Amino acid sequence: MHEMSIAEGIVQVLEDQAKAQCYTRVKTVWLEIGPLAMIETEALSFCFEAVTRDTLAEGAVLNIIKIKGEAFCMQCLKNVPITERYDSCVDCGSYQLQVVQGDEMRIKELEVE
Amino acid sequence: MCTVCGCSEGDVKIEGPAHEHAHPHADESEQMIVQQGDDLDFGQGPAHAHVAGMSQSRMVQIEQDILGKNDRYAGLNRARFEAQSIFALNLVSSPGSGKTTLLTETIQQIKGDRHVAVIEGDQQTANDAERIRETGVPAIQVNTGKGCHLDAHMVGHALDNLTAFQGGILFIENVGNLVCPAAFDLGEAHKVAILSVTEGEDKPLKYPDMFYAADLMVLNKTDLLPYLDFDVDKCIAYAKQVNPSIEVIQLSAKSGEGMAVWVEWLEHKRQAMIKQRIDALETEINQFKALL
């Protein structure tokens, strides 16, 4: 449900940046989203289309770059891949993991006019 | 959120008298918060800028966190808590876990020793704030309208409506929802996830983000355990699977069992926060002394 707030947050950043970067229309938005960012990307795309109506990003294409999840295993002392918070280490099975990558939720790049 | 000050679109209302904003807005003519009797309405005013005109398309690198704005407001709240030595907790759970009963029982036990205030988040009604006020402590109800979580900006406005209570404890009871509130920092010292034993022991796995974000899990309604198949050990194991450092307290706000442990946890963490602040100030003082 909070995808709507997130989509509104994106539009807000686009509008704030419009002044600083001197553009009046956004054609494409590239987002980086990790598997642990609590974002359902399909819901976000749906909300983005709804909230961009009558804004400088109306009709903009939303591209989502999926980042891989990674955690540091305290037992193996190395980074291992994860896709969920409750995953165990793929090598040793331990749950003593510290997430190092995968909760990103950022606007990376824009195509603007 | 609106383009002016981060207010959510929709029907957010905050109880309390008319007030000045503690934080500046870029353009007060686009004021988003409308006074309605004792309530504030966040849902008015322009939300979008309509922009005309076109030129050649180009690429812009911005590398900006989407929740950056909420996090900035959370930082402001945190600075206010620090300046007034307020110990703030963000209580999160699904609806019906017994958050408000836990709060009223906690308040009865600690209000003699310490100032307490509550910010209550619900989609609609001021019922919970009224229950809190019956205990004799101030409460501000925030109605999020269609919103599914409190954000740091709403909490900042609610703080404006609370009279100063230096050194006290602030409980922020979030909207009953185990999903969205996990993503929104409100400036609190700790998130506390409350799980009642009537809900099923695998909730930490079903809603891992919340139990990852929480520092403490309170297992509530333990007086009902004899009538349920709830496996306490399994539940704690699941919570630790998601968050190895999560602490767990089992209690029943109704029977009072375990409440002393919870009250002790509150005091211990509050003192830890104050000690941390003293250490930071002492370091700063020593840096100044070195300049003499």
Is the pLDDT reported for residue B216 higher than 60? yes
CA of B5 to nearest chain A CA: how many angstroms apart? 10
Q: How far is CA B111 from CA A84, B225, B252, in A?
A: 41, 29, 19
Collapsing DSSP states into helix, strand and coil, what is residue A25?
Answer: coil
- What is the mean predicted confidence (pLDDT) over B168-176? 95
- Alpha-carbon Rg for chain A, nearest whole angstrom, is 17
Cα separation of A63 and B171, whole Å?
Answer: 39
Q: Where are the domains of chain A?
A: 3-68+101-112
For B179-215, the pLDDT digits (tens) are: 889 989 999 999 999 999 999 999 999 999 999 999 9
Distance between CA atoms of B244 and B241, rounded to whole angstroms? Answer: 6
Who wins on pLDDT, B53 or A107? A107
**CA torsion angle for B231, B235, B238, B242 (degrees, to 10)?**
170
Give B76 to chain A, closest Cα distance, Å: 18
Q: What is the pLDDT of residue B86?
A: 95
Q: Return the sign of the alpha-carbon dihedral for residues B105, B107, B112, B113.
A: positive
Closest by Cα among B248, B273, B245, B272 to B262:
B248
Separation between Cα atoms, residue B193 and residue B218, nearest integer Å = 6
For residue A58, what are the CA distances in angstroms to A54, B110, B215? Answer: 6, 53, 41
pLDDT in the model for residue B49: 32
* Whole-number Å distance between alpha carbons of B73 and B37: 26
- Are B208 and A84 a contacting pair at CB < 8 A? yes
A49 closest CA partner among A62, A30, A36 = A62
CA–CA distance, B35 with B19 (Å, rounded to integer)? 9
Rounded distance between C-alpha atoms, residue A19 and residue B255, angstroms: 58
Examine the pLDDT at B28 and tell me if it is beyond 80. Answer: no
Kindly report which listed range (A23-27, B2-6, B82-86, B160-164) carries the lowest average pLDDT score. Answer: B2-6
B40 DSSP β-pair partners: B14, B35
* B186 domain residue, yes or no: yes
Residues B81-102 have a mean pLDDT of: 95
Domain presence at residue B50: no
Give the domain CATH number at B93.
3.40.50.300
Radius of gyration of chain B (CA): 21
Residue B24 has pLDDT above 60, yes or no: no
Q: Judge whether B253 lies within some domain.
A: yes
The answer to whether A17 contacts B62, with C-beta atoms less than 8 Å apart, is yes
* Contact between chains at B3 and A15 (C-beta distance less than 8 A): yes
B221: left (phi over 0), alpha (psi -120 to 50) or beta: left
Alpha-helical runs (H) found in B111-258: 127-133, 152-160, 203-206, 208-213, 232-242
Tell if the CB–CB gap between A113 and B212 is shorter than 8 Å.
Answer: no
Residue B141 pLDDT > 70: yes
Average pLDDT over residues A51-62: 93
Which residues in chain A are contacts of B241 at CB distance < 8 A? 86, 88, 95
Locate the chain A residue with the closest alpha carbon to B244.
Answer: A96
Name residues 63-82 of chain A within 8 A of B (Cβ). Answer: none
Chain A CB contacts of B3 under 8 Å are 11-12, 15-16
For chain B, the domain total comes to 1
What pLDDT digit, counting tens, does each position of A73-95 carry? 999 999 999 999 889 999 999 99
Q: If 0-12 CB within 10 Å is exposed, 13-18 middle and 19+ buried, where does residue A78 land?
A: exposed
**SS3 of B34, please?**
strand
pLDDT for B17 equals 64
Take residue A35 and report the two structure tokens written for it. Answer: 């598997």
pLDDT at B18: 54
Q: Does the residue B190 lie in any domain?
A: yes
Q: Would you say residue B86 lies in a domain? A: yes
Host domain of residue B148: 70-275
pLDDT of res. B58 = 86
B23 falls within a domain: no
Mutate: best of A5, A14, A22, A53, partner B, most B CBs <10 A: A5
Query: Which range among A27-41, B42-56, B227-241 has the greatest average pLDDT?
Result: B227-241
Is the predicted pLDDT of residue B9 greater than 60, yes or no?
Answer: no
Tell which residue, A10, A53, A3, has the closest CA to residue A29.
A10
Q: To 10 degrees, the CA torsion angle through B191, B195, B196, B200?
A: 180
ipTM confidence? 0.74
Chain B residues in contact with A5 by the CB 8 A cut-off are 1, 8, 147, 149, 151, 180
Tell me the per-residue pLDDT of B33-54, one tens digit each, with 9 for 90 and over.
444 444 434 443 333 333 344 4
Q: Which of B58, B59, B60 to mutate to test the interface with A (most CBs of A within 10 A)?
A: B60
**Surface of A (32-51) touching B: CB under 8 A:** 36, 38
pLDDT confidence of residue B215: 97
How confident is the model at residue B44, as a pLDDT?
39
The answer to whether the beta carbons of residues A49 and A68 sit under 8 Å apart is no
Let me know if residue B46 belongs to a domain.
no
pLDDT at B33: 44
Helix (H) or strand (E) holding A7: helix A3-21
Dihedral class, residue B281 (left if φ above 0, else alpha if ψ from -120 to 50, else beta): alpha
CA B260 to chain centre: 23
Closest CA–CA distance from residue A100 to any residue of chain B (Å): 14
Looking at residue B11, what is its pLDDT?
Answer: 64
- Average the pLDDT over B151-176 and give the result: 91
What class is the A3-68+101-112 domain? alpha beta
